[in-house]
Amino acid sequence: MKKERIIIYGGSFDPPHKAHFKLLKSAIKEIRPDKVYVVVGWQSPFKSFSSVSYHDRERMFKIGAREFNLGGISRLIFHPFEYDRKKITYTYQTINYFSLKHPRSQLFFLMGSDCFNSFNRWKNYKLIMKKAVLLVGKRKGFLPVSLPKKAIVFLKDVFPEISSSEVKKTLFIKGFSKNILVSVSAYMEQKKLYLIHIHKWLKLNLNRKRFRHCKEMTKLALELADKYGVDLEKTAIATLLHDAARDLRENKLKLWANKNRKKIPFFRFIMDNAPLIFHSYMSADIARSKFFIKDRDILNAIKLHAIGALRMSILGKIVYVSDIAGKDRDAAFAATIRKEAFFNIDAAFFSALKCKLEYIIKEKKRMHPRSRIVYQALSKKIYPNLASAKQSGKSSFGPPLAGGKTDSRIRRLVFNEARREIHKRRRRRI
């Protein structure tokens, strides 16, 4: 009696893209299985937890499979094995489950060549090869690792180099991807997945130049987030929405600020000298009220992208630096800061802050007190001089900015801020 042939296709499918469906369609045509199990992952052992639910990812795959007519050429079964476990599940556990479920069947485990090249580092990979045949879709330029050829079948077709991670980044940056099927993209928009709804809102509420700036800034910020291990979706939300209120007229910003004055530090200074700064606080409010963003790290990064702060998170620094160093910025210093950011985000943050303050001085505008505080603290000269300043009654507050003078009020703010910082550091040591 001929053995029943079963293909098992597992993955996070976050999101499912064209290459996923092309790979499965090619495998079905070549192997001609009796059944195909699609096992949508609860959480990948190699990736952070997805913000898109299991049910949404499964639904998107079903929609894409229907558009690709995969159900019409084979019996497609979506199995909730990993969902029922509700914890990280390794491939060998999935294969073991299906081998017990179908003891007399021939199992094929479908994967792309990108996964295959790291397969010998998977947990219990030899057990997988013992119980299932690896069905591998090759990418262009693919060079296989040395594994026993008896348990491997390479599909004849060559598949494009597309990864879910890169597709997700493209969705965050552009709001669309040519590698996503039309029906899947419509579902994403309907369910407000992968920040597509934010892009749609920004396109309607920002001018073309500002919208382009937000996208270019997001592109740089995601590269930096990858470098420094910051959540990509949080980074994209912060950068896309940082200028959500930037195109509003000054009188509207002032009107909103008056209603929310208790939440805005240095309210009177901003109102009298730089009301445009209100846009950063209002943008954070839009993120919270319209897009239901509750993450404090995101909201603080949006609030502080105009003036900075002493104790900014890595996300906050990435947003601040990306705002001034995006590829849409023509200034010569932008490229320098951009390059510096990949080596030292703190140094890049300091450079970006200095450039902003020098521009303010050049334009003969008043500097926000907090920005001055941050600059002087980061110059790393304020702390050694604090003790001598107490004794002599004089103080030195770091390298002066070109053309800038520190008046007595700001000097007092700087001194007190530095003292608080030193006391906090001493308490941590104790």
For 8-35, the pLDDT digits (tens) are: 999 999 999 999 999 999 999 999 999 9
Say how far apart CA 128 and CA 93 lie, in whole Å: 9
Query: What's the pLDDT band for 379 if we cut at 50, 70, 90?
Result: confident
- Give, in order, the Cα–Cα distances in Å from 50 to each of 153, 164, 269, 373: 31, 12, 42, 38
Query: What's the pLDDT band for 388 if we cut at 50, 70, 90?
Result: very low
Question: Where is mean pLDDT largest: 36-45, 65-74, 182-191, 361-370?
Answer: 182-191
Q: Read off the pLDDT of residues 412-422 as tens digits, 9 standing for 90 and up.
A: 555 555 565 56
Q: Is residue 302 classed as helix, strand or coil in its secondary structure?
A: helix
- Among candidates 57, 70, 62, 67, which has minimal Cα distance to 15? 57
Residue 35 bridge partners (DSSP):
6
- Give, in order, the Cα–Cα distances in Å from 36 to each of 5, 57, 228: 9, 18, 39
pLDDT of residue 358: 84
pLDDT of residue 395: 33
Centre a 10 Å sphere on the Cβ of residue 346 and count the other Cβ atoms it contains: 14
ω into residue 15 within 30 of 0, thus cis? yes
Q: Are 125 and 92 in contact (CB under 8 A)?
A: yes
Q: Is the pLDDT of residue 49 over 70?
A: no
How large is the average pLDDT for residues 94-119?
Answer: 90
Report, in this order, helix, strand and coil percent for the chain, each rounded to 5: 60, 10, 30
Say how far apart CA 382 and CA 419 lie, in whole Å: 10
Q: Read off the pLDDT of residues 123-142 as tens digits, 9 standing for 90 and up.
A: 998 899 999 999 998 887 66
Q: Is the pLDDT of residue 168 over 60?
A: yes
Query: 417 CB contacts (<8 Å, ≥6 apart)?
Result: 310, 373, 377
**Window from 32-36, 46-50, 293-297 with minimum mean pLDDT:** 46-50
Q: Are 50 and 16 in contact (CB under 8 A)?
A: no
pLDDT of residue 126: 87
Q: Is the pLDDT of residue 411 over 80?
A: no
Say how far apart CA 143 and CA 114 lie, in whole Å: 10
Q: Which domains does the chain have, with CATH numbers?
A: 5-162 (3.40.50.620), 195-429 (1.10.3210.10)
